[in-house]
Structure 1
Amino acid sequence: MKPPAREPLSHTRRSALHLEVRDTYQSTDPDFLAWREGRRTFTPGNRADWWEGWHDVVHAATCRGVSVRRARVVSEPLTEYVRWEYAYTVTNLAAGEQVRWLPRRSARDLAVPAVDYWVFDGELVLFHHFSGDGALIEREYVTDPALAAWCTSAFHEVWERATPHEEYKPVD
């Protein structure tokens, strides 16, 4: 499989945009399973509990001035998996990401790709293709300028409507 997002992020100069549109991902994630069983998987104030390679790459990028933004288009009420992501988002924020949430019903008139993707510096697009049960099956890198522009525009449409993590309150 091609390298994960941390590879191009480590070379990004200006911006990294990440759009997530799925309601579930790989449900065999050990941290998710522990959370699901009621075990606390991390203590927000204790970075040793959760800081890992991804956080290092994001932190390094933001320290060199890269804007790293993640927008999640979600169904409400949230699925169990996305509730876990919501709880775990404090780690993304601590690393320097900005995260916003957009309920799917508020995106009904937006044209966005039907897959998760990253856009690095407005030039390189990384599409994540998942199986129905949320397992990552392919990373597809594309350098088509028109596609990168469209994905960037779609991300900005979502971003403008989405609610910052600190203000978003999931519907039960």
Structure 2
Amino acid sequence: MPSNVPPPSFRDLLANCNRSAVHLEMRDAYAVDYEKGPFADWRAGHRHEPNDRASWWRPWLDLVAETVGRGVTMRRARIVSEPVSEYIRYEHSGTFTNVAAGEQVRWLPRRQASDIALPGNDFWLFDGQLVQWNHFAGDGSSQGPELAEDPAAMKLCSAAFEAVWGRAVPHDEYEIR
């Protein structure tokens, strides 16, 4: 992409997606504000009530539902250490919302990923043709995305995702350990 052209928004990336959007997450924690926000609420005991959709539906879920409604398959795989971190417990407790919006989600214990060649960063792969790397600092704060159209990167990401997906446990079957 020319440097003078602003990168597309994530919404635009999904809007231009025709077949598939896959996301691999490999961290045990992302930037967390322990004092306020959804994670703090969860730590204080708040849990989403599956039957009270209005209380947990949010713009991200609208975007997922729109994308899946156009026939795009959205899959997310999470590689996690066991026993899981507090943050992964939090993610797991709210993942039913992603599933309700149409996203498929699976979990793979890190020990079962030891022999899979994995990229160095979390990523999204759109239609197998465009990679968005998600860069994070050591504290889990986002360092911004980076787009790549390198065929070798796309091949690595596709192979890694499919290997993880093939071994991973569907969300509704994965038990937190």
Deviation at 1:3, TM superposition (A): 5.7
CA contact (8 A) 1:129 1:138 kept: yes
In the alignment, what sits opposite 1:16? 21
CA deviation profile, 1:120-147 (whole Å, cap 9, x unmatched): 0001101111111111111111111221
CA deviation profile, 1:41-90 (whole Å, cap 9, x unmatched): x3222221121111111101111111100000000011000100000100
Q: Give the partner amino acid of 1:37.
A: A
1:122 counterpart = 2:124: no
Deviation at 1:37, TM superposition (A): 1.6
Matches within 5 A, 1:83-98: 83-98=89-104
Q: Give the stretch that moved more between structures: 30-39 or 71-80.
A: 30-39
Alpha-carbon RMSD across the aligned residues, in angstroms, is 1.5
TM-score after normalising by structure 1: 0.93
1:103 counterpart = 2:109: yes
In the alignment, what sits opposite 1:75? 81
Which of 29, 33, 41 is residue 40 of structure 2 equivalent to? 33
Q: Give the stretch that moved more between structures: 26-35 or 121-130.
A: 26-35
CA deviation profile, 1:77-128 (whole Å, cap 9, x unmatched): 1100010000010010011000000000000111111211000000110111
CA contact (8 A) 1:6 1:54 kept: no
Task: State the 4+ residue runs in structure 1 displaced beyond 2 angstroms.
Answer: 1-7
Instruction: State the alpha-carbon separation in 2 of the partners of residues 146 and 30 from structure 1.
Output: 39
Instruction: State the alpha-carbon separation in 1 of the partners of residues 16 and 64 from structure 2.
Output: 11
TM-score after normalising by structure 2: 0.91
Instruction: State the alpha-carbon separation in 1 of the partners of residues 49 and 121 from structure 2.
Output: 31
In the alignment, what sits opposite 2:119? 113
Percent of paired sites with the same residue: 51
Instruction: State the alpha-carbon separation in 1 of the partners of residues 123 and 9 from structure 2.
Output: 11
Question: What runs of 5+ residues in structure 2 fail to find an aligned partner?
Answer: 1-5
Change in 2 beyond 3 A, CA 1:73/1:44: same
Change in 2 beyond 3 A, CA 1:68/1:136: same
Q: Give the partner amino acid of 1:15.
A: S
Q: Which has the larger radius of gyration?
A: 2
CA deviation profile, 1:4-41 (whole Å, cap 9, x unmatched): 5333112210000000000000111711111012233x
Instruction: State the alpha-carbon separation in 2 of the partners of residues 169 and 97 from structure 1.
Output: 19
Instruction: State the alpha-carbon separation in 1 of the partners of residues 155 and 116 from structure 2.
Output: 15
1:148 counterpart = 2:149: no
Question: What runs of 5+ residues in structure 1 fail to find an aligned partner?
Answer: none
